[in-house]
Amino acid sequence: MRRALLVSICYLITVIPGSSLEAQAVPRIAFEKYTLPNGLEVILHEDHSTPIVAVNTWYKVGSGDEKPGRTGFAHLFEHIMFMGSQNVPVGVFDKELEAAGGDNNGSTTEDRTNYYELVPSNALPLALWLDSDRMGFLLPTMDLPKLDLQRDVVKNERRQSVDNVPYGKSEEIILAALYPKGHPYSWSVIGSMEDLSAASLDDVKNFFRTYYAPNNATLSIAGDFDPVKTKALIQQYFAAIPRGPALPPRPNVPAVTVPKDTFLVLEDKVQLPRAFYTWPTVKLFASDDAALDVLAAVLASGKNSRLYKRLVYDTQMAQAVRASQQSSKLAGFFQIDVTPKPEQSLAAIDKIVQEELQRLMNEPITARELARVQNSFKASFLNRMASVQTKADILNQYNYMAGTPEYVQQDAVRYERVTRADVQRVARLYLAKPKVVLTVVPEGKREMMLTSTGGAR
Amino acid sequence: MMSQRSIRSLVLVAAATGLQSVAGAQAVDRSRAPMLGPPPKVSLPPIITRQLPNGLKLMIVEQHELPVADFVLVVGSGGTVDPSGKPGVANLTSTMLVEGTTTRSSLEIADQIAYLGIGLGTNSNWDASTVSLHTTIAQLDSALALFADVILKPSFPTSEFERIRKNRLTELIQLKDRPTAIANQAYASILYGASHPYGQALIGTEASITGMATSDLVSYYKTHFFPNNSTLIIVGDVSPAQIEKKIAAIFGGWQRGTVPAYTLTNAPKAAGTTVYLIDKPGAAQSSFRIGSIGVPRSTKDYFALTVMNTILGGSFTSRLNQNLRETRGYTYGARSGFDMRRAAGPFTASAEIVAAKTVSGLIEFMKELNAIRTAVPPDELLKAKRYLQLGLPADFETTQQIATVLVPVALYNLPLDYYNNYVQNVEAITQAEVQRVAREYINPSSLAIVIVGDRKSIETGLKAVGTGPISIRDFFGKPVTQ
């Protein structure tokens, strides 16, 4: 569904290592980057294989920039950006794009907000007109009814993705327990109903003036276009938008630690309980980030992964198990969650989880395990090269998160360098430390909650 | 804006040249949408067809952008021909293909998928069972060997089936947690009734899964998995001649067989409109599924219905979404669609609506389902047609997308130039035809309206609005005795 909320914060752009497989070369994404005098960064990537163009704009603002009492605002604002601007009456944005055969959407994370259109190549000027108008001229037609309408839509998005969904409220509870009060990641991107209700028209105006300026945005265009004509169009539509004030600095947050194991319980409308284990780790592109990605896959990706094989395949005590390293610009965490089969106890499952973690700390993984993960990562990387929409977004991701769009090969090297010993080392370094354990239980079944964990200290 | 729209209307189909006329370098007039050049010429990749002596059809499309290829085997049998009283057999047969072959165990298959870095998946719907492979060209031979093994030599091991059975039974328990899943399940059951296949559960029921044995799956496989009941779609960085040779070597020994013919009776349509209320205490939203039995994929009205539905609920600016989301804020999104199968599948309008606006939501749904039966304004019709026509090239970007859009061509015997003629077929749809199909297929006085929500807070209002009698149902659509 459009205007989706992106809560997932881990980009797995990965590549291969020294396995015995014949390696398929990591393609470079050729691009040109320049900056307009008003600060707008532009990234262009030509790909004429299909007559379509992806226009992808990142604003360097996300839920991590929200003020206390206004959680969810960055995402609510994303919705507001579709409600018309000075020269684009409300509703016209979508109607014009659809009439031109295009689609569009936006998404918000802790760190950034993106907006994108995918259009037939002749409609590129239309996308640039629409995007530049809302970048430069959003406020003249902004009013409370527009805010109120999207407030209602976003509240329904929250109901549909959090409140009316089994286990849906687990994320915000974990984030609040994992991060200290006031940490930019201590609340969820979707925010609370109370804070959504509190958002005012002044908040909208201030947020726009602070963050939605060309000097806080990057326009990435990928696909079938003529670069000379496109640069002229960008000049025409964007150059006159005035630079905004200096951006407030992002909080420089210290590394997060959980002082001691914390056990939480949430009663929910669920048939089966689910336990979530969460450890603070490292941010995106930090030196151990890639090894933690590999560790997650070794634990729970595929039938031969350690936790899946023991819990779901062999003993069949669990219905499902997942593991992930979720890393963002300021911080990251490692998470495992497991859902028991009916009549199976979480305590017994926990014992196995702890045994398997201990085993990963005690001895290196096998060469085959490493090869499986690295080869699969490489394939997922190649698949991202297939669509201009994804390429435009990847260029923006690297530009913001790594400081340059030219980062594909470096990203590949990260994963090539992960060794069996690295995986053992990061397991010991991060997963032996105190964690947050949330058990979601069926209503009235608090006795199912985990109150201690076994092996790993 | 109007001038620009009419320019688009001039160029639509004929656009043979791709030259854009971009405004000059001087200051731009921001007060109006830019004039656009003609849309790019739609040139869809040619489909090469072949047939092996055993009847296996091949559809090959070259796409050399990346060193990858996609393969989809489409077997022309799905859940519709589940044995009577055993819903879920087709689905579990597909599921079990990757759980062991005569030469590879379940774990070995999984190990090779990951080691080769390929995607290998199975699926089944009402009309087909599919096996899909995505691979790099560097791993093509190993990947094809594995792909062929799971298609040709599945062994349906009992121990693996017992695990899959437990897993499926647990999934069925978990389904009770999700109002959207409950609504889908109950809606199908209410529309089609217990005796029609489309009223059954594709993934099976607690009773059918419990009573199933691997012999049911083996029997389904032996009855339907024949080369002469299948098409292999191949898209990617391959040479047609070479890949045909490879495929002939691997699949040439697959024995043809006789696929039992079947006919589907049409389920009786609803007489009158009824509101089926399913209680989900405390639900924050009410899940709406509204509609009736629609049309088969072979309908002559395919393009008229597609255009009409785009206007009603098939795009972001469609009436349902504009009304229920962008005007009233009752929901995160509202939509409608015709699920076209070999026989008439359902027409469904749906949304998740905030509990407090359940009654208002129903009123607006009914308003739109009535309004679409009157003439659609020309500009709205034009927008829908352009959206469908000009958006077509984006469906042909990646190997995976091309393979996906070819599945219905294979399955429903659409002409090979189906997509080449798509633009003109959409263009031919008139205002009168949109109105005719709306009146023929959307009948507000004989709808099934399924609402999963907090009965305590919504029942009184639903009664008062008087759209139809209220029938209280359980999660499976069965009547609840008070």
pLDDT in tens, chain A (457 residues): 344 433 333 333 333 333 456 556 678 899 999 999 999 999 999 999 999 999 999 999 999 999 989 999 999 999 999 999 999 999 999 999 999 999 999 999 999 999 999 999 999 999 999 999 999 999 999 999 999 999 999 999 999 999 999 999 999 999 999 999 999 999 999 999 999 999 999 999 999 999 999 999 999 999 999 999 999 999 999 999 999 999 998 878 999 999 999 999 999 999 999 999 999 999 999 999 999 999 999 999 999 999 999 999 999 999 999 999 999 999 999 999 999 999 999 999 999 999 999 999 999 999 999 999 999 998 888 888 999 999 999 999 999 999 999 998 889 889 989 999 999 999 999 999 999 999 999 999 999 999 998 743 3
B448 and B390, same structural domain? yes
Q: Provide the pLDDT confidence category of residue B26 given band limits of 50, 70 and 90.
A: low
User: What is the model's pLDDT at position A22?
Assistant: 58
User: What is the model's pLDDT at position A23?
Assistant: 55
At B229, which amino acid appears?
N
User: What is the model's pLDDT at position B195?
Assistant: 85
User: What is the model's pLDDT at position A51?
Assistant: 97
> How many angstroms separate the CA of residue A94 from the nearest CA in chain B?
7
pLDDT of B91 > 60? The answer is yes
pLDDT of B467 > 60? The answer is yes
B285 and B188, same structural domain? no
Could you give phi then psi for residue A335, rounded to 5 degrees?
A: -135, 135
- Rounded Cα distance, B162 and B80, in Å: 24
At B368, which amino acid appears?
E
User: What is the model's pLDDT at position B2?
Assistant: 27
Contact list, A197 vs chain B (CB under 8 Å): none
The phi-psi region of residue B156 (left if phi > 0; otherwise alpha if psi is between -120 and 50; otherwise beta) is: left
User: Could you say which of B36, B117, B315 has the minimum Cβ distance to residue A379?
Assistant: B117
Mean pLDDT for all residues in chain B: 93
Mean pLDDT of B274-286: 97
- Rounded Cα distance, B141 and B246, in Å: 9
B55 and B131, same structural domain? yes
- Rounded Cα distance, B477 and B87, in Å: 16
CB B36 within 8 A of CB A125: yes
> How many angstroms separate the CA of residue A202 from the nearest CA in chain B?
21
Residues 79-138 of A with CB under 8 A from B: 87, 91-92, 94-96, 98-103, 118, 120-123, 125-126, 128-129, 132-133, 137
Report which of B266, B281, B153 is spatially closest to residue B199, judged by C-alpha positions.
B266
B213 and B72, same structural domain? yes
- Rounded Cα distance, B261 and B341, in Å: 16
Yes or no, beta carbons of B327 and A149 under 8 Å apart: yes
Q: Answer yes or no: is B30 within a domain.
A: no
B285 and B215, same structural domain? no
- DSSP 8-class letter at B225: -
Q: Answer yes or no: is B14 within a domain.
A: no
Chain position carrying tokens 């459009």: A2
Residue B105 forms contact with A (CB below 8 Å):
no
B242 and B279, same structural domain? no
* Beta strands A113-120 and A52-59, pairing class: antiparallel
Residue B91 forms contact with A (CB below 8 Å):
no
Q: Answer yes or no: is B269 within a domain.
A: no
- Rounded Cα distance, B453 and B411, in Å: 37
- Rounded Cα distance, A189 and A247, in Å: 21
B283 and B238, same structural domain? no
B337 and B194, same structural domain? no
Residues 30-69 of B with CB under 8 A from A: 30-42, 65-68
B218 and B98, same structural domain? yes
Could you give phi then psi for residue A393, rounded to 5 degrees?
A: -70, -40
- Rounded Cα distance, A382 and A13, in Å: 9
The phi-psi region of residue A198 (left if phi > 0; otherwise alpha if psi is between -120 and 50; otherwise beta) is: alpha
Give me the domain span that covers residue B224.
Answer: 48-251
- Rounded Cα distance, B336 and B318, in Å: 9
A122-to-A100, A386, B39, B351 alpha-carbon distances in Å: 9, 21, 5, 34
- Residue A320's SS3 state is strand
Q: Answer yes or no: is B295 within a domain.
A: yes
CB A28 within 8 A of CB A130: no
Q: Where along chain A do the CATH 3.30.830.10 domains lie? A: 32-238, 262-387+401-448
pLDDT of B104 > 90? The answer is yes
pLDDT 10s digits, B320-365: 999 999 999 999 999 999 999 999 999 999 999 999 999 999 999 9
- Rounded Cα distance, B138 and B159, in Å: 34
Residue B457 forms contact with A (CB below 8 Å):
no
Number of domains in chain B: 2
> How many angstroms separate the CA of residue A394 from the nearest CA in chain B?
17
Chain position carrying tokens 């003993």: A315
Yes or no, beta carbons of B167 and A319 under 8 Å apart: yes
Residue that terminates a domain, selected from B251, B286, B308: B251
- Rounded Cα distance, B240 and B247, in Å: 10
Q: Provide the pLDDT confidence category of residue B477 given band limits of 50, 70 and 90.
A: very high
Q: Answer yes or no: is B33 within a domain.
A: no
User: What is the model's pLDDT at position B210?
Assistant: 98
B228 and B97, same structural domain? yes
A436-to-A286, A433, B125, B442 alpha-carbon distances in Å: 22, 10, 41, 53
CB B135 within 8 A of CB B69: yes
- Rounded Cα distance, A308 and A356, in Å: 11
Query: Could you tell me which chain A residue has the CA closest to the CA of B8?
Result: A100
Yes or no, beta carbons of A163 and B284 under 8 Å apart: yes
Mean pLDDT of B118-146: 97
Give the relative orientation of helices A73-80 and A144-158 as an angle to the nearest 10 degrees: 120
B238 and B305, same structural domain? no
Contact list, A156 vs chain B (CB under 8 Å): 285, 325, 329-332, 352-354
Residue A49 forms contact with B (CB below 8 Å):
yes
The CATH number for B343's domain is 3.30.830.10
Mutate to test the interface with B, among A130, A141, A153, A241 (most CBs of B within 10 A): A153
User: Could you say which of A27, A101, A388 has the minimum Cβ distance to residue B39?
Assistant: A101
Yes or no, beta carbons of A376 and B31 under 8 Å apart: no
- Rounded Cα distance, B199 and B126, in Å: 11
Residue B116 forms contact with A (CB below 8 Å):
yes
Query: b vs e for B208-230, b when ≥16 Cβ sit within 10 Å of the residue's Cβ?
Result: bbeebebebbeebbebbbbbbbb
B217 and B278, same structural domain? no
User: What is the model's pLDDT at position A252?
Assistant: 81
- Residue A31 CA, chain-centre distance (Å), reads 24
Pick the CATH number of A32-238 from 1.10.10.10, 3.40.50.1220, 3.30.830.10, 3.30.70.560: 3.30.830.10
Q: Answer yes or no: is B179 within a domain.
A: yes
Chain position carrying tokens 């030259």: B19
> How many angstroms separate the CA of residue A259 from the nearest CA in chain B?
35
Top-level CATH class of A262-387+401-448?
Answer: alpha beta
User: Could you say which of B8, B37, B329 has the minimum Cβ distance to residue A152?
Assistant: B329
**CB neighbour list of residue B69: distance below 8 Å, 6 or more residues apart:** B134, B135, B137, B140, B234, B235, B236, B237, B238, B399
